[in-house]
Amino acid sequence: MITLEMPAENLLRVGKATAKKLQNLGLRTAEDLLFYFPFRYEDWSKILPISQLTYGSAGTCRGRVELIKNTRSFHKRKNITEALVSDKSGSIKVVWFNQPFLTKVLKVGDEIFLSGRVDFDRFGIHLTSPSYEKIRKGEEATHTARIVPVYRTTESLTTKQIRFLVKLVAPLAARVRDWMPPEIKKDFNLVNLSQALKQIHFPDSVSVLKEARHRLKFDELFLIQIHNLLLKANLQKSTAPAITFREAETKKFTGALPFKLTDGQRQAAWEILKDMASGKPMNRLLEGDVGSGKTVVAAIAALNVFSNGYRSVFMAPTEILARQHYETLRGLFNDFPIVVGLLTRTNVMVKDPKDLKDLNDREDIDDCKMSKSGFLKQANEGKIDLIIGTHALIQEKIKIENIGLAIVDEQHRFGVKQRQALKGDGEMPHFLSMTATPIPRTMSLVFFSDLDLSVIKEMPVGRKKILTKVVAPENRSKAYDFIAKEIKNGRQAFVICPLIDLSDKLGVKSAKEEYKRLSQEIFPALKIGLLHGKMKSEDKEKVMKDFLENKINILVSTSVVEVGVDVPNATIMMIEGAERFGLAQLHQFRGRVGRSIFQSYCFLFSESENEEAAKRLVVMTTCNDGFSLAEKDLEFRGPGEVWGVRQSGMPDLRIATLADYDIIKQAKEAAEQLIKKDPELSDLPYLLEKLDDFEKEVHLE
Ligand code: ADP
Ligand code: MG
């Protein structure tokens, strides 16, 4: 007897090799197969008399094999199987290619179903390579004469094999426990889970298939909402330092800025300060386009935390960015007695305010350097007020109590583990994450419902629009002439190279080649720099520093290397293989220029002949708004592509998508209704168990 836990290997017709292939699809057990949903269906349910199978039609017929034989085509050395099949209404010729075994499977006299298309060519009118299936008494058809499921598969495993195995395990659907509370099923019109699982594979009709899909999509979206609501409630149960608003210091800080805050910045800062005053941990995402000025907002938060006697940590995705944030923040806090520290793998730095002399254990390398152990000791004793570093380093090395605020740049949220690490044994800190990636509304409804959101909508005034052009291959040299002219005028340029193939995970190959080409052939007289992810971080820092100081004219970089650094003098962003990037991502690259009074340019190069790709790129030339570009991305490429599932922390759903707007809303409502009644879900052990499995499966952390 088959059980849910049974390894796929023990199923009928599965040998070691097939088991391995199944494993590659993540299918290890009978249960895995049951939850491996088809990605589309073919409706072969209508059975027609053979006489109605006319040229151009498609359908299923039921007949008797009258004749079957293999022949060889003369030129192409293909094997051809020809058969004649008849029913009461007539007969039809059937042709298959390169399946000589068919004469062993189908014998004269067999009753069979055939589903396929009717063609007309040198064979005359015939069914061409139809699906076939012998009719067995008391057994329903699997591959023909029904709505047939089609599964995603790998090269060496056929959808027919998967279908056969799923059919074997399908009766287990009746044994899967329905964890959904009955009242939710009733209120939201959901069919039973076992019904849904059976019908999702072998639907009796289009309408029950719809119900099955609805139920299974609802399940995923509902579990995400429950997950988020529990996270939120959990956080609400703990306390965090109450950070009171320090008006005088804040005014002094904003007054010293060389610009006025935008309304968006003001509003965001106010929302953050209000959260932090509450005594409950803040859990806020600050979203704002590249260059909208998120850093000052974070600085205002850190300043208030400092004035309340607590410390902040500020985490960046890369060392280069951490360094840049350090430079920026120590500048911003120049007139405040705030000790700002930078922790990277290769060095540490501390900005030691003049009126604060108690940083002992300093090695006098120069006035702002100390040893790493010295730094960590000071940091762990709480003597460094604002510690800047990469995510990994800070979590690993810093064991300070009294962190009042943790800021994370270019990340959507804090993970559970990350939170735990930052909490230590002390109180929960406030959490602020920042992102330049625009989050479409459905996205925030589904994945970010546990977070409070602040959005900076406008850009600081006076920014020049970046002129964007898609450059045709024949105009490449003109673009180079233009770049040469800009560089002569003292400006600088970025060149971004895409990944060429998957084996070259970091895009190193293409960047190196481009670097060689530009420095040897195109711009031999200019200074070209190269930046890629395989370089040592000292070397990366050195290249960035040289670029920042205009010792490098053109910086060739992989897309993988974060170029989120501020080089105001760079006015040209050139992107090779632009069609390989999402619009939102191109927009991020473009945001690296246009940070000064000089007019900036973005040139998109594309080798692709694909019209769709070209259309997509043209959008960049007219649209300057990251938010609409992200929406366009969703339209052109779908969420999976845009959001590179794992890396952005988006769970990998089996069946629900962001297009399921109505179900998203219902699932949210259902989850809220349930949690309101039973905040701990203590009466729903099956739901909690399912949630646990789900979180592991889709990597919700
Ligand atoms: P991002 O949101 O991409 O992190 P930054 O914080 O790096 O943006 O800010 C980009 C640039 O804009 C910085 O040089 C910063 O000093 C400047 N800036 C920030 N706010 C304003 C403002 N209100 N007016 C003018 N310039 C500003
Ligand atoms: Mg930033």
Residue 644 has pLDDT above 70, yes or no: no
| Structure tokens given for 673 | 């209704």
What band does 353 get if pLDDT is binned at 50, 70 and 90? low
Ligand nearest to the CA of 460: 1
Stated pTM of the model: 0.79
Q: Which of 296, 320, 466 to mutate to test the pocket of ligand 1 (most atoms within 8 A of CB)?
A: 296
What band does 368 get if pLDDT is binned at 50, 70 and 90? low
| Backbone angles phi and psi of 209, in degrees to 5 | -65, -40
Q: Which of 52-66, 355-369, 614-628, 665-679 has the lowest mean pLDDT?
A: 355-369
Q: Degrees (nearest 5) of the Cα angle 23, 14, 21?
A: 25
CATH 1.10.150 fits domain 1-41+152-170: yes
Ligand 1 pocket member 460 (CB < 6 A) = yes
Domain 1-41+152-170 shares a fold with domain 46-145: no
> Could you identify the atom of ligand 1 that is nearest to the CA of residue 297?
6
| Backbone angles phi and psi of 575, in degrees to 5 | -120, 115
Ligand 1 pocket member 59 (CB < 6 A) = no
Residue 445 has pLDDT above 80, yes or no: yes
Ligand 1 pocket member 290 (CB < 6 A) = yes
Residue 311 CB neighbour total at 10 angstroms = 26
Ligand nearest to the CA of 463: 1
DSSP state of 25: T
Give the pLDDT confidence score for residue 701 in this predicted structure: 66
What band does 191 get if pLDDT is binned at 50, 70 and 90? very high
What band does 523 get if pLDDT is binned at 50, 70 and 90? very high
| Smallest CA separation from ligand 1 atom 16, residue | 293
Q: Which of 31-40, 355-364, 486-495 has the lowest mean pLDDT?
A: 355-364
Q: For the CA atoms of 413, 418, 420, 423, what is the dihedral angle to 10 degrees?
A: -80
| Backbone angles phi and psi of 491, in degrees to 5 | -85, 180
What band does 560 get if pLDDT is binned at 50, 70 and 90? low
Residue 653 CB neighbour total at 10 angstroms = 20
- Of 3.40.640.10, 2.40.50.140, 3.40.50.12780, 3.40.30.10, the CATH number of 46-145 is 2.40.50.140
What band does 648 get if pLDDT is binned at 50, 70 and 90? very low
Ligand 1 pocket member 297 (CB < 6 A) = no
pLDDT in tens, 430-440: 999 999 887 87
Q: Which of 44-58, 161-175, 561-575, 598-612 has the lowest mean pLDDT?
A: 561-575
| Smallest CA separation from ligand 1 atom 17, residue | 293
Give the pLDDT confidence score for residue 563 in this predicted structure: 55
Percent of the chain clearing pLDDT 90 (strictly above): 57
| Smallest CA separation from ligand 1 atom 5, residue | 293
CA of 291 to the centre of ligand 2 (A): 7
Q: Which of 261, 289, 295, 458 to mutate to test the pocket of ligand 1 (most atoms within 8 A of CB)?
A: 295
DSSP state of 551: S
Distance from C-alpha of 44 to C-alpha of 3, rounded to nearest angstrom: 30
| Smallest CA separation from ligand 1 atom 22, residue | 460
pLDDT in tens, 205-244: 999 999 999 999 999 999 999 999 999 998 888 999 999 9
Q: What is the residue whose two structure tokens read 């701990």?
A: 680
What value does the mean pLDDT take over residues 30-57? 93
What value does the mean pLDDT take over residues 490-508? 75
Residue 616 has pLDDT above 90, yes or no: no
Q: Degrees (nearest 5) of the Cα angle 685, 281, 263?
A: 125
Give the pLDDT confidence score for residue 606 in this predicted structure: 87
Residue 415 has pLDDT above 90, yes or no: no
Per DSSP, helices labelled H in 44-187 are: 102-105, 159-169, 182-187
Q: Which residue has the higher pLDDT, 404 or 559?
A: 404
Give the pLDDT confidence score for residue 320 in this predicted structure: 78
Q: Which residue has the higher pLDDT, 319 or 514?
A: 514
Domain segments of the chain as ranges: 1-41+152-170, 46-145, 467-623
Q: Is the dihedral of CA 563, 530, 604, 548 positive or negative?
A: positive
Closest listed residue to residue 110, CA positions, set 66, 59, 70, 48: 66
Give the pLDDT confidence score for residue 649 in this predicted structure: 43
**Three-state secondary structure call for residue 312:** strand
pLDDT in tens, 381-411: 888 999 999 887 777 777 877 799 999 998 8
Ligand 1 pocket member 259 (CB < 6 A) = yes
Q: What is the residue whose two structure tokens read 């050139």?
A: 574
Ligand 1 pocket member 38 (CB < 6 A) = no
Ligand 1 pocket member 568 (CB < 6 A) = no
pLDDT in tens, 271-282: 999 999 999 999
- What's the farthest any 2 CA atoms get from each other in the chain? 102
What value does the mean pLDDT take over residues 335-340? 90
What value does the mean pLDDT take over residues 305-334? 90
Q: What does CATH list as the number for 467-623?
A: 3.40.50.300
Helices (H) and strands (E) in the chain, counts: 23, 21
Give the pLDDT confidence score for residue 197 in this predicted structure: 97
Ligand nearest to the CA of 588: 1
Closest listed residue to residue 361, CA positions, set 344, 339, 376: 376
Taking CA atoms, 309 is separated from 263, 283, 302, 399, 401, in Å, by 28, 20, 11, 17, 12
Ligand nearest to the CA of 294: 1
What band does 500 get if pLDDT is binned at 50, 70 and 90? low
Ligand nearest to the CA of 260: 1
**Three-state secondary structure call for residue 552:** coil
Residue 82 has pLDDT above 80, yes or no: yes
> Could you identify the atom of ligand 1 that is nearest to the CA of residue 456?
2
Distance from C-alpha of 166 to C-alpha of 197, rounded to nearest angstrom: 11
Distance from C-alpha of 32 to C-alpha of 168, rounded to nearest angstrom: 13
